[in-house]
Amino acid sequence: MSSPDLRQKLSILADAAKYDASCASSGTSRRGSLDGKGVGSTSPGSGICHAYAPDGRCISLLKILLTNFCIYDCAYCINRVSSNVPRARFKVQEVVDLTLGFYKRNYIEGLFLSSGIIRDADYTMEAIVRVARTLRLDHDFRGYIHLKLIPEASPELVAEAGLYADRVSINIELPRDESLAKLAPEKDSRTIKKAMGSVRLAIENRSEKGRKARAPKFAPAGQSTQLIVGADAASDADILDRSVGLYGSYGLKRVYYSGFSPIPDGSSRLPQAKPPLMREHRLYQADWLLRVYGFERNEIALEDGMLDLDVDPKLAAALRSRGDYPVDVNTADRERLLRVPGLGVRGVDRLIGVRRFKRLTLEDVKRACGALAKARPFIVADGWSPGGLTDSAKLAALLPRDRPRQLELF
């Protein structure tokens, strides 16, 4: 059988990387090559693979695996050693050349690199680090680099990876430790957590205030992880509890949620159907409430451990705590306004800015925040009061439901 050429490798290894959701290019330090030095650039606030920046630009990273060969036999992974899939492996220089070539053609603004485990963890991690080192030191590449770390690799290799990468990530993968032990026997949750802890210490040490001699910046965009949704019996409550623990223990920038997809020749221990896409969406919404909107875990409304697929978690929380509403948009502080359904961070900041000069009406709220269907029953504005609507038994039925629908091309 002939070896795949570069184009075939790219097709196989880009497709194999699509299951990893923990890929974002936000939060790194600003670098550029406008001074005529180096190659590439990065700027804080850029999005993820095939996402959109605030100005509407599509931001792309070259998202590939170094190889989809793997000595592990994780039941939920299509690249497991027992899987019958086409295999390919990049040479280090091929990844370097692809990254530089795609950047110079304006296809990408950075690289996301992960890998199956070849031989052992250190052998694989050394190859991943060599890609980043070559880009940074030999080619002065200043674009974004996100490296997937292998928790079983030596601390020295992990530390070196953090010096070349903007962001690093270690996937904890399953919400329950017992599920990981059952479905991924070669992996140990204690080893994963220990590696994530070492990354947190390295990040904190490089940013410690008052240090006379600062070490080189270690992963300036922080670390992230991924949880697979629906591969085991974990409820949404289990997943959110694990996320809260990960944010608190390891200072993660993001926890990403990836809906399980049934794989060819999958184990009978795995579900035969994927979870609803709306479940993944609701988990992301709940995650934002915890990270950005100041909600506590016990404020997220759950029914039998699951988020409501028809009602977004912010609206569900408001319906459960109607005694806290309505909120006066002319006097409430930012924290209270952020808890109002339908009001986002940017909209609230606009309202606070406008109300310095005038009293806010319902029309002002609409201009700042868009649609008012969800917010109207929970706010008071100049000339508007919801009256008994906030406490109405029929309120939930009157509010819009987020029902998934197939998008149309025409």
Per-residue DSSP letters for 258-325?
EE----TT--TTS-SSPPPHHHHHHHHHHHHHHHTS---GGGS--BTTB--SSS-HHHHHHHHTGGG-
For residue 221, what pLDDT is reported?
Answer: 87
For residue 106, what pLDDT is reported?
Answer: 85
For residue 261, what pLDDT is reported?
Answer: 86
Asked if residues 50 and 60 have their Cβ atoms less than 8 Å apart, the reply is yes
For residue 163, what pLDDT is reported?
Answer: 93
What percentage of the chain's residues is helix, strand, coil (to nearest 5)?
40, 15, 50
Q: Count of CB atoms within 10 A of residue 208's CB? A: 9
For residue 165, what pLDDT is reported?
Answer: 94
| Nearest to 129, CA basis, from 322, 20, 121, 263 | 121
Buried b (16+ CB within 10 A) or exposed e, 148-159: bbbbbbeeebbe
Point out which residues pair with 112 in neighbouring strands: 63, 146
For residue 49, what pLDDT is reported?
Answer: 57
d(CA 251, CA 200): 7
Is the CA virtual torsion 145, 150, 156, 157 positive or negative? negative
Q: What are phi and psi of 140, to 5 degrees?
A: 50, 40
Point out which residues pair with 173 in neighbouring strands: 227
For residue 368, what pLDDT is reported?
Answer: 92
For residue 126, what pLDDT is reported?
Answer: 97
Largest pairwise CA distance in the chain? 76
pTM: 0.86
For residue 52, what pLDDT is reported?
Answer: 36
385: DSSP letter: -
**Residue 404 is encoded by which pair of tokens?**
């998934």
Whose structure tokens read 């309505």? 326
The CA distances from residue 188 to 144, 182, 194, 196, 200, in Å, are: 30, 11, 10, 13, 19
Point out which residues pair with 290 in neighbouring strands: none
Cis link prior to 326 (omega < 30° from 0)? yes
Overall size of the chain counted in residues? 410
Residue 247 backbone class (left: φ over 0; alpha: ψ -120 to 50; beta: rest): alpha
Residue 371: partners with Cβ closer than 8 Å, 6 or more residues away: 342
**Residue 305 is encoded by which pair of tokens?**
């451990």
**Predicted confidence (pLDDT) per residue in 290-342, tens digit:** 999 999 999 998 999 999 999 999 999 999 999 999 999 999 999 999 999 99
Q: What is the mean pLDDT of each run of 10 residues along the chain (410 residues)?
A: 79 84 52 50 41 46 93 92 91 95 88 93 97 96 92 95 93 93 93 95 75 65 93 95 96 92 81 92 96 94 93 94 95 96 94 95 93 92 92 85 52
d(CA 100, CA 106): 10
Whose structure tokens read 């220990």? 194
For residue 263, what pLDDT is reported?
Answer: 81
Amino acid making up residue 148: K
For residue 409, what pLDDT is reported?
Answer: 38
Interior angle at CA 227, CA 222 and CA 231, nearest 5? 165
* Domains defined for the chain, CATH in brackets: 6-275 (3.20.20.70), 320-398 (no CATH)
Residue 103 backbone class (left: φ over 0; alpha: ψ -120 to 50; beta: rest): alpha
HSE of 152 in the Cβ direction (CA atoms, 13 Å)?
Answer: 14
For residue 393, what pLDDT is reported?
Answer: 85
Please state at what angle helix 313-320 crosses helix 277-291, rounded to 10 degrees. Answer: 60
| Nearest to 161, CA basis, from 132, 186, 136 | 132
Asked if residues 153 and 125 have their Cβ atoms less than 8 Å apart, the reply is yes
d(CA 111, CA 35): 22
- Could you please report the per-residue DSSP string of 343-380? --HHHHHHHHHHTTTSPPBHHHHHHHHS--TTTGGGEE
| Nearest to 371, CA basis, from 341, 334, 342 | 342
